[in-house]
């Protein structure tokens, strides 16, 4: 599947806390009926997924995938087909296991992929180019794709696609990187974090040139930012209070 819901509890009615994209790997922590609790290899996030939606890998295949250079789909959305003539939709940031010259494998299935791929650590300027691909994506709590994304899912995926590791939630991401004292020190691609009245970090976005920021608030959008926080260009008021700015590399 393109992506599946990771839920807080072992139930379809439970809150979706994140999503797992095609090709991402995990460890199984527990089982409860038709549900398994997982620990994601990339960001160590934990939650429950429906067993019907995942593919079990042998230890040999898993180790081979983990050793292989990671390739991501750099297409907003594309179709792939496998040797059993099944079509599959992939979205931006999907992992292509053991990718080589237009083909990748998953157990006994071989897939053809003729789209643009991205691999390795990319220049910092590429972060902004990737961020623009999510522009106008609707807000979805727990989302990580252009079909629906939350604020920290957006920043995490932009960094992940470009070869850099971010934790899943905004308050976790705020523990990474080096603090920047002034907005003037920020470069495009740096992160800004925002807190609520209790001082809890609840929002994040990616800095752009000339005191602009791209972030997910209702949708992925571009607004102004100053020393007070985010200034919404549509409502002409501040919507988020600036807490800290971080440079990861």
The pLDDT tens digits of the residues spanning 159-169 come to: 999 999 999 99
- Over 80: is that where the pLDDT of 84 sits? no
Question: Which residues lie below 8 Å from residue 214, measured CB to CB, with a gap of 6+?
Answer: 128, 131, 132, 135, 205, 206, 208, 220, 221, 222
Quote the pLDDT of residue 161.
96
Q: How many CB atoms lie within 10 A of CB 60?
A: 8
Q: What is the pLDDT of residue 1?
A: 64
* Res 248: pLDDT: 87
Spatial separation of the C-alpha atoms in residues 154 and 118, rounded to whole Å: 17
Nearest of 62, 76, 81 to residue 24 by alpha carbon: 62
Q: Could you read off the pLDDT of 2-17 as tens digits, one per residue? A: 899 999 999 999 999 9
Mean pLDDT of the chain: 94
pLDDT beyond 80 at 66: yes
Pick the range with the lowest mean pLDDT from 44-48, 110-114, 145-149: 110-114
pLDDT of the residue at 233: 86
Mean pLDDT of 105-113: 88
pLDDT tens-digit series, residues 33-61: 999 999 999 999 999 999 999 989 989 99
Residue 175 has pLDDT above 90, yes or no: yes
Of 147-151, 180-184, 193-197, the range with the lowest mean pLDDT is: 180-184
Q: How confident is the model at residue 83 (pLDDT cuts 50, 70, 90)?
A: confident
pLDDT confidence of residue 106? 86
């Amino acid at each position: 599947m393109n992506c599946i819901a990771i839920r807080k509890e072992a139930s379809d009615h439970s809150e979706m806390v994140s999503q797992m994209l095609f090709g991402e790997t995990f460890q199984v922590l527990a089982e409860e009926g038709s549900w398994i609790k997982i620990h994601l290899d990339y960001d160590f996030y934990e939650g429950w997924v429906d067993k019907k939606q995942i593919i079990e890998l042998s230890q040999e295949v898993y180790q081979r995938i983990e050793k292989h250079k990671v390739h991501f789909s750099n297409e907003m959305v594309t179709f792939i087909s496998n040797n059993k003539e099944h079509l599959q939709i992939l979205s931006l940031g999907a992992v292509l296991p053991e990718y080589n010259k237009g083909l990748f494998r998953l157990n006994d299935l071989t897939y053809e992929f003729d789209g643009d791929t991205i691999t390795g650590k990319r220049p910092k300027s590429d972060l902004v180019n990737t961020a623009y691909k999510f522009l106008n994506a609707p807000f979805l709590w727990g989302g990580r794709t252009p079909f629906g994304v939350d604020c920290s899912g957006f920043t995490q995926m932009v960094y992940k696609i470009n070869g850099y590791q971010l934790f899943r939630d905004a308050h976790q991401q705020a523990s990474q990187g080096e603090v920047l004292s002034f907005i003037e020190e920020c470069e495009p691609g740096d992160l800004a974090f925002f807190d609520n009245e209790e001082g809890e970090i609840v929002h994040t976005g990616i800095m752009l040139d000339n005191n602009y920021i791209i972030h997910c608030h209702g949708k992925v959008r571009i607004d102004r930012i100053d020393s007070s926080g985010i200034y919404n260009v549509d409502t002409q008021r501040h919507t988020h209070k600036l807490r800290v700015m971080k440079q990861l590399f």
